Homo-oligomer: A and B are copies of this chain.
Amino acid sequence: MHKQVTMQAIADEAGVSTATVSRVLKGHPAVLEETRQKVQSLIDRYHYVPNFAASSLVRQQSNMLGMMVENIENPYFASMFSAAETRALEEGYSLMMMTEQPGGEEIQTIRRLIQHQIDGLVLLSNRINGRPPEEKIVRFVQEIAQQVPLVLINEYLEDLHIPCVFADNREGFLQAFRFLYHLGHRRIALVGGLDDNQTFHIRRQAYLDFLKEAGLPFQEAYLQMNGYTFEDAMNSMHRIMSSAQLPTAILANNNIIAMGIMRVCHDHHIHIPDHLSLITCDNTFISEAVTPSLTALDIDPREQGRQAIDILLSMIRGETPPSLSIRIPSRLVVRSSTARPPA
């Protein structure tokens, strides 16, 4: 905010009032062409742009949306934000993103976003997605929803009465398991995540239901939900390997986990996909660039981001969303990490 060109300055130099300048800016028809041109040329010359702070103040609308994201260094969230930003911009809104800062004061973060007078907020936090959801956070979110139109990117929470955009993990995972089954796999494992989270719980449930549907026995060692990190994944894989019989296929809950599994396989000369098929959940550039390229369940972060913005904008327009639960279908992208099981 150095030396700002104000509307008043333009008006003075053009010999008109600020009202007229404002009309020119808005493309209001009731302006003499001659006046319009004079004003416009001044605007161009000085690269004048209206001060958003001033106009927010009087219009009671900032044309700025907010988004809180867990961790932008995760390419999955980055894609989501990127698509959301593009969509917001298309609709004439800026998107202000803040990350849940380490130390976890997401409440501070949200307040800060609100202070910036955002017209709507997209929230994405593991804290809301807990199982069961944390009482404190839920109360806070309810309260926020009173203050500003709010959309969650989260598993649907019925009693919250807040629109939720969520990937269809259940159908997606069932689809992935069935794909493996049809390839001939009968010993299939699931690795990664933690059961204290809604999303991973749903995936786990899909796994159990698939086993039942396929008439396959449940094996303790084939369900490894010990965390999100590379090391967690390596540990899980080691546990699997110490079981009686190796599975012929594994579904990994994200790319990092898949990479952890690949590392262990490599170290033990387990060849993917000849000895073991692997599916990852996260279709980022990593899934493709890794060797072998990974068959991936695409839970479509970009579409989640776009939809969240669309719903937010419709709420801002005063429309009631037709449904509070917006399901984004997942789809399987087949690459080189899956094959028939070894004979």
A residues bordering B, Cβ < 8 Å?
A: 1-3, 47, 49-54, 56-57, 60-62, 64, 71-73, 75, 78-79, 81-82, 85-86, 89, 94, 96-99, 101-102, 111-112, 114-119, 143, 146-149, 230, 256, 259-260, 262-263, 266, 285-286, 288-292
Q: Which B residues lie within 8 Å of A71 (CB)?
A: 82
Q: Do residues B289 and A230 form an inter-chain contact, with CB atoms below 8 A?
A: yes
- A50–chain B nearest beta-carbon distance, Å: 7
Cα(A148)–Cα(B57), bound, Å: 22
Q: Which B residues lie within 8 Å of A101 (CB)?
A: 86, 89
- Knowing that A49-B115, A51-B57 are A-B contacts, what are 9 other residue pairs whose CB atoms are under 8 Å apart, sorted by A's residue number? A1-B62, A50-B115, A53-B116, A53-B117, A85-B98, A89-B101, A97-B97, A230-B288, A263-B291
**Could you jot down 13 A-B contacts, CB within 8 Å?**
A2-B147, A51-B117, A52-B116, A64-B116, A72-B81, A73-B75, A82-B99, A94-B116, A230-B285, A230-B288, A259-B289, A259-B291, A266-B291
Q: Which B residues lie within 8 Å of A61 (CB)?
A: 1
Chain B CB count within 10 A is highest, among A47, A57, A73, A115, for A73
Name which residue of chain B comes closest to A116, CB basis.
B52
Q: Which B residues lie within 8 Å of A3 (CB)?
A: 146-147
- A227–chain B nearest beta-carbon distance, Å: 14
Chain B CB count within 10 A is highest, among A50, A53, A99, A286, for A53
Cα(A86)–Cα(B75), bound, Å: 19
Name which residue of chain B comes closest to A119, CB basis.
B1
The answer, among B73, B119, B291, for a CB contact under 8 Å with A262, is B291
Name which residue of chain B comes closest to A120, CB basis.
B1
The answer, among B2, B49, B81, B146, for a CB contact under 8 Å with A149, is B2
Asked whether A72 and B64 contact (CB < 8 A) given A2-B146, A89-B101, the answer is no
Q: Which B residues lie within 8 Å of A50 (CB)?
A: 115
Closest 6 CB pairs of A and B: A259-B289, A53-B56, A53-B53, A73-B78, A266-B291, A49-B115
Q: Which B residues lie within 8 Å of A2 (CB)?
A: 146-149
Cα(A290)–Cα(B255), bound, Å: 10
Cα(A87)–Cα(B169), bound, Å: 36
Cα(A111)–Cα(B332), bound, Å: 40
Q: Do residues A53 and B49 form an inter-chain contact, with CB atoms below 8 A?
A: no
Q: Which B residues lie within 8 Å of A260 (CB)?
A: 289
Cα(A78)–Cα(B81), bound, Å: 11
Name which residue of chain B comes closest to A73, CB basis.
B78
Chain B CB count within 10 A is highest, among A115, A146, A230, for A115
Q: Which B residues lie within 8 Å of A266 (CB)?
A: 291-292
Name which residue of chain B comes closest to A96, CB basis.
B96
- A127–chain B nearest beta-carbon distance, Å: 19
